[in-house]
Structure 1
Amino acid sequence: MLSPESTAIVRATLPAVGAAIGEITTLFYGRMFADHPELERDLFNRGNQAAGEQPKALAGAVAGYATMLVEQPEVRPAAMLARIAHKHVSLGITEDQYKIVHKYLFAAIVEVLGAAVTPEVATAWDEVYWLMAGELIALEAKLYAEAGVAPGETWRPVTVVARTQESRGAVSFTLRPADGSPAPEFRPGQYVSVAVHLADGARQIRQYSLSAAPGGSHWRITVKRVHGGDTPDGEVSNWLHANVQPGDQLTVSLPFGDLTLAEGAEPLLLASAGIGCTPMIGMLDHLVASGSKRPVIVVHGDRSPADHAHAEQLRTLVAALPGAELHRWYQQPAEDDAQARTGLVDLAQIEVPEGVRAYLCGPLPFMRATRAELLRRGVPAQSVHYEVFGPDLWLASGN
Structure 2
Amino acid sequence: MNCSPGIHGQAGTMHGGCGCNCGCGSKKRTGQEGGKKGELSSSGRFHPVVGVYMITETLMELVLKRYGLNFEAGDCVMLSAGPYAQARPYSIASGIHDDHLRFLIRLVPEGQVTSFLKALKPGDTVFVSAPFGWFHPGVGLDAPFAFVATGTGIAPFLSYCRSYPERAPEYCLYGVRHLHDAWGADELARKTRLMLAVSREKRADVFYGRVTDLIPQIELQTGMHFFLCGLDTMIDEVADRLEARGVPAANIHWEVFFHAQPNQNEANCS
* TM-score band w.r.t. shorter chain: 0.7 to 0.9
Letter matched to residue 331 of structure 1 = S
Change (3 A) 1:334 1:245: farther
Letter matched to residue 237 of structure 2 = A
* Deviations 1:294-348 (CA, angstroms, capped at 9, x unpaired): 5521001110112222233333xxx23xxx3111110133535x2x211111212
1:223 corresponds to which residue? 105
Percent identical among aligned pairs is: 24
State the distance in 2 between where 1:196 and 1:333 align: 37
2:179 to 293, 299, 305: 305
State the distance in 2 between where 1:184 and 1:173 align: 16
Change (3 A) 1:330 1:54: same
* Deviations 1:271-295 (CA, angstroms, capped at 9, x unpaired): 000111111111111122xx22x55
Q: CA deviation at 1:206?
A: 0.9
- Structure 2, unmatched stretches of 5+, are 1-17, 262-270
255-264 or 357-366: bigger deviation:
255-264
2:123 corresponds to which residue? 247
2:65 corresponds to which residue? 176
Q: Are 2:123 and 1:257 equivalent residues in the alignment?
A: no
Q: Is the 8 A contact 1:333 1:341 kept in 2?
A: no
State the distance in 2 between where 1:157 and 1:224 align: 22
1:155 corresponds to which residue? 44
2:86 to 204, 208, 229: 204
1:341 to 204, 207, 217: 207
1:272 to 128, 137, 149: 149
Q: Is the 8 A contact 1:331 1:344 kept in 2?
A: yes
Q: Are 2:236 and 1:368 equivalent residues in the alignment?
A: yes
Letter matched to residue 86 of structure 2 = Q
Report which structure shows greater RCO (CA 8 Å, sep ≥6): 2
- Structure 1, unmatched stretches of 5+, are 1-46, 66-76, 93-151, 228-232, 394-399
Q: Name the one with the larger strand percent.
A: 2
Q: Is the 8 A contact 1:162 1:173 kept in 2?
A: yes
Q: Is the 8 A contact 2:230 2:258 kept in 1?
A: no
DSSP-derived class of the 1:371 partner: helix
1:34 corresponds to which residue? none
State the distance in 2 between where 1:226 and 1:308 align: 18
Q: Name the one with the larger helix percent.
A: 1
Change (3 A) 1:380 1:255: same
Q: CA deviation at 1:235?
A: 2.7
1:186 corresponds to which residue? 71
Q: CA deviation at 1:162?
A: 2.4
| Larger CA Rg, structure 1 vs 2 | 1
State the distance in 2 between where 1:55 and 1:195 align: 17
Q: CA deviation at 1:214?
A: 0.4
Letter matched to residue 194 of structure 1 = L
Q: Is the 8 A contact 2:231 2:258 kept in 1?
A: no
Give the alignment's TM-score, normalised by structure 2.
Answer: 0.77
State the distance in 2 between where 1:284 and 1:266 align: 16
* Deviations 1:24-64 (CA, angstroms, capped at 9, x unpaired): xxxxxxxxxxxxxxxxxxxxxxx96xxxx438739x9xx94
State the distance in 2 between where 1:172 and 1:161 align: 11
DSSP-derived class of the 1:301 partner: strand
Change (3 A) 1:192 1:390: farther
Q: CA RMSD in A?
A: 2.8
State the distance in 2 between where 1:362 and 1:159 align: 28
